[in-house]
A and B are shown apart, each in its own frame.
Chain A
Amino acid sequence: MKRYFHKELTELENKLILLGEKSHQVVQLAVEGLIENNLDKVNEAYKMDDYVDVLEMEISHACIRYMSLRGPVSSDLRLLVVALKASKDFERIADEAHSIAQKSYRLLTTEGSLKNTLNLSEMGKLVCELVNDSISCFVKEDIDKAFLILKRDHEIDAINQKHFDILSNEAFRDEMSDAARFDLMLISKSIERIGDHAKNIAGGVIFLLNGDQ
């Protein structure tokens, strides 16, 4: 029997998907702006963060309200727990993207453009895919895709480690200023953190679908 308040759960799911899409959009703009030396995209990514924060707060409130008033159990309760955690992850993803945009702006306006020494393009593409997949595995209830995200996160970790090794190498010092190297290291770290958040969301989807913690 469908109860009148079950539509609140559907609204919550829609809002979570919307938050995911917005977070993905911020990441894509920030990463593409950096790789394509495109200040417009960087600026757009920088501006989008506030809306994501508002959505995250609305989702948290809706989850707590539903838990307080509707007495959810089983898969409904799991959905609320996952929505609470995933919304926080999406919000953090957007925060990291915001931070990437901030540093990219500084880099692009001071250094002009990026050298191709780093593998930021592949790393950025990979993380955008993971964020997108984390949303679609939730929407399509695709547990296989969720498990795949857990595996693919290691690829990003490995690239980040490589970037760290390159940027901390003495030989790279002549290529750019210390400040620029430091910004690039932080950008790489932010992308790696975004991958971690996508992995957390995938873990949440697995918990939602099969109840395993």
Chain B
Amino acid sequence: MNVNFDIQEKQAQPTKPPKPVIKTKDLDFAYGDSQALFNISMDIFKKEVTAFIGPSGCGKSTLLRCFNRMNDLINSANIKKGTIRISDIDIYNKDVDVIELRKHVGMVFQKSNPFPKSIYENIAYGMRIQGVKKRSELDETVESSLRGAALWDEVKDRLNKSALGLSGGQQQRLCIARTLAVKPKIILMDEPCSALDPVATAKVEELIHKLKKNYTIVVVTHNMQQAARVSDRTAFFYLGRLVEYETTEQIFMNPKNSKTEAYVSGRFG
């Protein structure tokens, strides 16, 4: 009988306190006159996966897009109050270079959006516009990014073929590889699996689990099972307010707030 008896000897190890990398404080955010976020204060921790859940229109994607100032692209969007600090820098300070910020905080969207170029060029593109010309350097980054996104083995023999010929799941992993190529510290994912079948979803979830060893990940999802499976912490939003933010175990096994309980158990609405 092969039994792992190690667990007998297991002692409780003191765990290091998690280190916050994104600090949101008293944040109010509005699209014109319509306020979308109310007084949000939360810390996102280093090398953890944090899931944002909540019904449509609750503000989870809005908050996610605040973290790399994607909302700047909408004219009426504005922060009315509060701050967001990433690695102790106020990212809405006028001196912040937004392009640099977005290199530091990468993003993967709901619908995969590969460029109509080869698989290779999709990854190399970001580096080329940064001025990298050396072929060996480009090759190395393309390979490491594709490996990092668990896609290398599937595409290594057709790097010069169009990225549009990949399956939906592969395209999404290509977009993740493209994000990795510019060496971000934080990756934001806005419903990254909502357009994928269960097998492709499982692969992306496996990838998220693998990536958290090196990156801080924030994922918005409508799929509560997915939040439960992939995240370390979960935040539940409702009508622009942060209702509860706890470890995923706490949120799904014993939430403190009755609204969270109703939402995660499907009794909402």
Residues on A facing B (Cβ under 8 Å) = 1, 3-5, 11, 14-15, 17-18, 21, 64-65, 68-71, 135-136, 139
Evaluate whether A1 and B4 lie within 8 angstroms (CB atoms) in the complex, with A69-B229, A70-B228, A71-B229 already known: no
Select one of A18, A21, A65, A136 contacting B253, CB under 8 A.
A65
A11–B5 Cα gap in the complex (Å)?
10
Chain A hits for B210, CB < 8 A: 4
Taking the nearest CB of chain A, how far is it from the CB of B143, in angstroms? 24
The reply to whether the CB of B8 lies closer than 8 angstroms to some CB of chain A is yes
- A17-B229 in contact (CB<8A): no
- A15-B7 in contact (CB<8A): yes
Taking the nearest CB of chain B, how far is it from the CB of A69, in angstroms? 4
- B253-A68 in contact (CB<8A): yes
B1-43, CB < 8 A from A = 1, 3-5, 7-8
- A1-B202 in contact (CB<8A): yes
User: What would be 25 A-B contacts, judged by CB atoms less than 8 Å apart?
Assistant: A1-B202, A1-B206, A3-B205, A3-B206, A4-B206, A4-B209, A11-B4, A11-B7, A14-B7, A17-B1, A17-B3, A18-B5, A18-B8, A21-B1, A64-B253, A65-B249, A65-B253, A68-B252, A69-B229, A70-B228, A70-B229, A71-B225, A71-B229, A135-B1, A139-B1
- B228-A69 in contact (CB<8A): yes
Closest B residue by C-beta to A10: B4
Closest B residue by C-beta to A69: B228
- A3-B202 in contact (CB<8A): yes
Chain B hits for A139, CB < 8 A: 1
Taking the nearest CB of chain B, how far is it from the CB of A19, in angstroms? 10
The reply to whether the CB of B248 lies closer than 8 angstroms to some CB of chain A is yes
A14–B8 Cα gap in the complex (Å)?
11
**What 1/0 flags go to B190-225 for Cβ under 8 Å of A?**
000000000100110110011000000000000001
Select one of B4, B7, B205, B249 contacting A69, CB under 8 A.
B249
- A14-B209 in contact (CB<8A): no
Chain A hits for B199, CB < 8 A: 1
- We find that the number of chain B residues with CB closer than 8 angstroms to chain A is 20
A145–B111 Cα gap in the complex (Å)?
53
Taking the nearest CB of chain B, how far is it from the CB of A66, in angstroms? 10
Chain A hits for B229, CB < 8 A: 5, 69-71
Chain B hits for A135, CB < 8 A: 1
Total residue contacts A-B, CB cutoff 8 A: 46
For chain B, what secondary structure do more than half of its interface residues adopt (helix, strand, loop), or is it mixed? helix
Chain B hits for A14, CB < 8 A: 3-4, 7
Taking the nearest CB of chain B, how far is it from the CB of A102, in angstroms? 25
A85–B251 Cα gap in the complex (Å)?
25
Chain A hits for B205, CB < 8 A: 3
Evaluate whether A18 and B3 lie within 8 angstroms (CB atoms) in the complex, with A3-B202, A4-B209, A71-B229 already known: yes
Select one of A1, A3, A21 contacting B3, CB under 8 A.
A21
**What 1/0 flags go to B234-257 for Cβ under 8 Å of A?**
000000000000001100110000
Closest B residue by C-beta to A64: B253
Closest B residue by C-beta to A2: B206
- A71-B7 in contact (CB<8A): no
Chain B hits for A4, CB < 8 A: 206, 209-210
A18–B7 Cα gap in the complex (Å)?
9
A65–B253 Cα gap in the complex (Å)?
7
Closest A residue by C-beta to B209: A4
- B228-A71 in contact (CB<8A): yes
A21–B5 Cα gap in the complex (Å)?
11
A43–B225 Cα gap in the complex (Å)?
48
A65–B5 Cα gap in the complex (Å)?
22
The 5 closest A-B pairs by CB, nearest first: A69-B228, A14-B4, A71-B225, A68-B252, A68-B253
A14–B3 Cα gap in the complex (Å)?
6
A136–B2 Cα gap in the complex (Å)?
11
Closest B residue by C-beta to A71: B225
Taking the nearest CB of chain A, how far is it from the CB of B53, in angstroms? 13
A17–B205 Cα gap in the complex (Å)?
30
Closest A residue by C-beta to B3: A17
Taking the nearest CB of chain A, how far is it from the CB of B5, in angstroms? 7
A139–B253 Cα gap in the complex (Å)?
29
Chain A hits for B5, CB < 8 A: 18
Taking the nearest CB of chain B, how far is it from the CB of A187, in angstroms? 29
